[in-house]
Amino acid sequence: DIVMTQSPDSLAVSLGERATINCKSSQSVSYSSNNKNYLAWYQQKPGQPPQLLIYWASTRDSGVPDRFSGSGSGTDFTLTISSLQAEDVAVYYCQQYYSTPYTFGQGTKLEIK
Partner 1 sequence: QVQLVQSGAEVKKPGSSVKVSCKAPGGSFSSYAISWVRQAPGEGPEWMGGIIPILGIANSAQKFQGRVTITADESTTTAYMELSSLRSEDTAVYYCAISTHYDYLRGSYRYIGIDYWGQGTLVTVST
Q: Which residues bind partner 1 (CB under 8 A)?
A: 1, 31, 33-34, 38, 40, 42, 49-52, 55-56, 61, 93, 95, 97-107
Amino acid letter at 66?
D
Q: How far is the CB of 83 from partner 1 (least distance, A)?
A: 24
Q: Residue 8: is the preceding peptide bond cis (ω within 30°)? A: yes
Nearer to partner 1, 8 or 18 (CB): 8
Nearer to partner 1, 43 or 75 (CB): 43
Q: CA dist 37 to 34, 44, 81, 105, Å? A: 9, 22, 20, 16
In 3D space, the residue among 48, 63, 43 whose CA is nearest the CA of residue 105 turns out to be 43
Amino acid letter at 7?
S
* Three-state secondary-structure class, residue 88: helix
Q: How far is the CB of 101 from partner 1 (least distance, A)?
A: 4
Nearer to partner 1, 16 or 49 (CB): 49
Q: How far is the CB of 17 from partner 1 (least distance, A)?
A: 25
Nearer to partner 1, 56 or 111 (CB): 56
In 3D space, the residue among 47, 33, 50, 48 whose CA is nearest the CA of residue 95 turns out to be 50
Q: How far is the CB of 26 from partner 1 (least distance, A)?
A: 15
